Structure 1
Amino acid sequence: MNNLCIIILTFNEELNIKKCLGSIKNFADEIIIIDSFSTDNTKSICENYKVKFVQNKFVNQAKQFNWALSNVEVKSEWIMRLDADEEVTENLAREIKKNINIESENNGFYINRKLIWCRKWIRHGGIYPLWLARVFKRGKAVYEERTEEHLLIEGKTSKIRGDLIENNLKNKIEFFTLKHLDTAKGEAKEIFDKNFNKNISSDQIYNKSKIRRFFKINLFNKMPLFFRSTSYFIYRYIFRLGFLDGKEGFTFHFFQAFWYRMFIDMLVDEKKKNEKK
Structure 2
Amino acid sequence: MITNLSIIVLTYNEEIHIARLLDNLLKLTSKIYVVDSYSTDATISILESNNILYSQNKFINHSKQINYAIETNPFETTWTLRIDADELISDKLISELAHTLNIYSNSNVNGFYLQRKVVFMSRQLHYGNLNPMWLLRVWRTGEGFCNEKWMDEKIVLKHPNTKQLKEIFFDHNLNSLTWWTNKHNLYSNREAIEILKEKYLKNQSIKEKASNRDLLLFKLKSIYNMFPMFIRPILLFLYSFILRLGFLDGKQGVIWNVLQVFWYRYLVDCKVFEIERVHNFDSQKIVDYLMQLDE
Q: Judge conservation of contact 1:142–1:152 (CA < 8 Å) in 2.
A: yes
Q: Judge conservation of contact 2:8–2:73 (CA < 8 Å) in 1.
A: no
Residue number among 231, 243, 257 corresponding to 2:235 in the alignment:
231
Give 1:137 shift.
0.7
The residue aligned with 1:168 is 173
Q: Judge conservation of contact 1:6–1:79 (CA < 8 Å) in 2.
A: yes
| Distance in 1 separating the partners of 2:267 and 2:24 | 36
Q: Judge conservation of contact 1:191–1:197 (CA < 8 Å) in 2.
A: no
Q: Judge conservation of contact 1:111–1:133 (CA < 8 Å) in 2.
A: yes
Considering fraction of residues, name the structure with more helix: 2
| Distance in 2 separating the partners of 1:31 and 1:9 | 11
The residue aligned with 1:202 is 209
| Distance in 2 separating the partners of 1:246 and 1:65 | 35
The residue aligned with 1:262 is 266
Can you give the 5+ residue segments of structure 2 that lack an aligned partner in the other structure? 282-295
CA displacement, residues 41-87 of structure 1 (integer Å, 9 cap, x when unaligned): 11111123232111111111111010111233232121000111111
TM-score by length of 1: 0.92
The residue aligned with 2:131 is 128
1:122-201 matched pairs, under 5 angstroms: 122-146=125-149, 147-153=151-157, 154-170=159-175, 172-193=176-197, 194-197=201-204, 200=207
Runs of 4+ off more than 4 Å: 197-201
Residue number among 216, 220, 236 corresponding to 1:215 in the alignment:
220
Q: Judge conservation of contact 1:112–1:130 (CA < 8 Å) in 2.
A: yes
Give 1:203 shift.
4.8
The residue aligned with 1:119 is 122
- Number of residue pairs aligned between Structure 1 and Structure 2: 273
The residue aligned with 1:16 is 17
Q: Judge conservation of contact 2:147–2:205 (CA < 8 Å) in 1.
A: no
Task: Give me the identity figure in percent.
Answer: 33
The letter of the residue matching 2:108 is E
Root mean square deviation, CA, Å: 1.9
The residue aligned with 1:105 is 108
The residue aligned with 1:93 is 94
The letter of the residue matching 2:170 is I
The residue aligned with 1:4 is 5
Give 1:105 shift.
2.0
Equivalent position SS for 2:220: helix
Segment drifting more, 101-110 vs 79-88? 101-110
The letter of the residue matching 2:29 is A
Q: Judge conservation of contact 1:199–1:214 (CA < 8 Å) in 2.
A: no
